[in-house]
């Protein structure tokens, strides 16, 4: 693309204004940390949150990219530091006569809870409650939790201390699968714990958010449709969504964005009997990974694979909109397709699939053709290439 500036994150195109807040429940590495996107009451002049919330995440991104923190973190901060997400921070939940279906979203390697804000905000604008997790398995470029200064203290107001977790490379003496597979199970279990937390809050149980916020978690009570829950994720998060679908009966379907399917064990494939939508980019997948997706397809007629032409692996992240030409050239954050068009296709296919398998009464079925690979810039099945990982 010829533009020499950042493009900016798209707003959700659905009928609802979108709010978001951060939630951390629990005081250990096993705590749950996520960004919640939800339909909100429209707020004039509401605060727009920064896309990257803390400087530590720039340091984490530098580490993940194997670059020196001293120059890379300030450069990333200069590039992205002023970027904000076009949603209303801490706005009140919009109460409706129908409950909101739930999506739990899992990020990819080296990402964190805010990197998929475009997808999450679009889903919230269409009437979903979206929990974007920040995983604690050392696959996030950075994350943190609070630990008690005194382990004996169970008082909610007790002083707490921030503890940061860094991204971990595969140890040199270990095979990648043996390192990544336990991480995958931890991530899927975090998705299950996320669902359990929302079930608990929706049922009226109080949850203490350790982060300063004006959002009232108890407003979710009786407003979440837990009979309509799906799991979604990108790359490592795509594989996480498939495993979570197998582990949790309450998840009805999964949307796997350019899934990095390698860490899934072979014994798992026959168990993926519920519908999965694989939305692949043109350049990331291999013959082996597409063959594994087809194996999953053979178990359920409703499982679909489509490829969005002109896209690269980062096309399904916010980087595709925010990286200028230099960053794009170095890290291939954009393909040949217009990034807004590429994301529209991804979102519309996901919405059509969710309507079908969560039995929603919306107008998302207008995009059903995409699920068969019919439309501009989309083909059925995997990308046409012969490389291997």
- What is the mean pLDDT of the segment spanning 216-226? 94
What token pair was written down for 129? 């409650």
Query: 264 falls in which pLDDT band (50, 70, 90)?
Result: very high
For the cut 70, the answer to whether the pLDDT of residue 309 exceeds it is yes
- Is residue 272 domain-resident? yes
283 contacts 385 by C-beta, under 8 angstroms: yes
Q: Which residues contact 184 (CB under 8 A, 6 or more apart)?
A: 236, 239, 240, 243, 263, 264
- Is residue 27 domain-resident? yes
Q: Based on the structure, what is the number of domains in the chain?
A: 1
**Among 139, 235, 241, 289, which one carries the catalytic annotation?**
235
Q: Is 258 a catalytic residue?
A: yes
254 contacts 300 by C-beta, under 8 angstroms: no
For the cut 70, the answer to whether the pLDDT of residue 67 exceeds it is yes
Query: 2 falls in which pLDDT band (50, 70, 90)?
Result: very low
As a whole number of Å, the CA-based R_g of the chain is 20
Phi, psi of 321 (to 5 degrees): -95, -30
pLDDT, tens digit, for every residue of 279-297?
A: 999 989 999 999 999 999 9
Q: Is 28 a catalytic residue?
A: no
Among candidates 259, 260, 241, which has minimal Cα distance to 251?
Answer: 241
- Is residue 70 domain-resident? no
Mean pLDDT of the chain: 90
- Is residue 21 domain-resident? yes
Helices 55-64 and 69-80: crossing angle in degrees, nearest 10, is: 120
Domain span at residue 204? 17-45+84-141+175-380
Q: Is 117 a catalytic residue?
A: no
- Is residue 52 domain-resident? no
**Among 106, 258, 315, 318, which one carries the catalytic annotation?**
258
CATH of the domain at 309: 3.40.50.1820
**Among 107, 313, 318, 357, which one carries the catalytic annotation?**
313
284 contacts 309 by C-beta, under 8 angstroms: no
pLDDT above 90 covers a percentage of the chain that reads 72
Name the 3-class secondary structure at 157: coil
- Is residue 153 domain-resident? no
93 DSSP assignment: B
- Is residue 170 domain-resident? no
- Is residue 104 domain-resident? yes
If you search the block for the tokens 């195109």, which residue do you land on?
13
For the cut 50, the answer to whether the pLDDT of residue 386 exceeds it is no
96 DSSP assignment: -
The pLDDT value given to residue 156: 57
Surface-to-core class of residue 150, CB atoms within 10 Å of its CB (0-12 exposed, 13-18 middle, 19+ buried): exposed
CB atoms closer than 10 angstroms to residue 321: 21
Surface-to-core class of residue 209, CB atoms within 10 Å of its CB (0-12 exposed, 13-18 middle, 19+ buried): middle
The pLDDT value given to residue 27: 85
- The mean-pLDDT minimum among 84-98, 136-150, 156-170, 296-310 falls in 156-170
pLDDT, tens digit, for every residue of 69-121?
A: 898 899 889 888 889 999 999 999 999 888 999 999 999 999 999 999 999 99
Which residues partner with 277 through β-bridges?
255, 304
The pLDDT value given to residue 330: 55
């Amino acid at each position: 693309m010829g533009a020499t500036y950042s493009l900016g994150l798209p707003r959700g195109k659905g009928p609802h204004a979108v709010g978001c807040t951060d939630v951390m429940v629990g005081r250990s590495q096993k705590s749950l940390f996520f960004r919640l996107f939800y339909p909100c009451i429209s707020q004039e002049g509401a605060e727009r949150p920064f896309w990257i919330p803390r400087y530590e995440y720039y340091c984490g991104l530098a580490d993940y990219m194997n670059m020196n923190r001293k120059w890379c973190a300030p450069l990333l901060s200069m590039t992205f530091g002023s970027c904000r997400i076009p949603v209303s921070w801490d706005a009140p939940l919009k109460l409706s006569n129908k409950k909101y279906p739930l999506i739990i979203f899992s990020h990819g390697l080296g990402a964190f809870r805010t990197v998929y804000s475009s997808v999450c905000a679009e889903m919230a604008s269409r009437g979903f409650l979206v929990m974007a997790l920040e995983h604690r398995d050392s696959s996030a470029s950075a994350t943190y939790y609070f630990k008690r200064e005194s382990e004996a203290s169970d008082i909610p107001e007790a002083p707490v201390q921030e503890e940061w977790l860094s991204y971990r490379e595969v140890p040199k003496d270990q095979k990648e699968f043996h390192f990544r597979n336990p991480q995958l199970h931890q991530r899927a279990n975090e998705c299950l714990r996320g669902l359990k937390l929302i079930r608990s809050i929706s049922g009226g149980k109080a949850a203490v958010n350790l982060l300063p916020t004006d959002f009232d978690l108890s407003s979710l009570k009786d407003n979440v449709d837990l009979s309509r829950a799906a799991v979604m994720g990108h790359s490592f998060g795509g594989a996480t969504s498939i495993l979570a679908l197998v582990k949790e009966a309450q998840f009805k379907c999964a949307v796997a964005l350019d899934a990095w399917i390698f860490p899934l064990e072979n014994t798992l494939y026959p168990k993926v009997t519920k519908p999965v939508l694989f939305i692949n980019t043109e350049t990331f997948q291999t013959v082996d990974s597409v063959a594994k997706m087809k194996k999953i397809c053979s178990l359920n007629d409703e499982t679909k694979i489509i490829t969005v032409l002109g896209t690269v692996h980062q096309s399904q992240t916010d980087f595709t909109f925010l990286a200028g030409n230099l960053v794009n050239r170095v890290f291939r954050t954009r393909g040949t397709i217009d990034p807004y068009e590429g994301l529209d296709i991804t979102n519309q296919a996901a919405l059509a699939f969710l309507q079908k398998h969560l039995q929603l009464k919306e107008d998302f079925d207008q995009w059903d053709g995409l699920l068969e690979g019919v439309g501009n810039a989309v083909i059925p099945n995997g990308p046409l290439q012969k490389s291997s990982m």
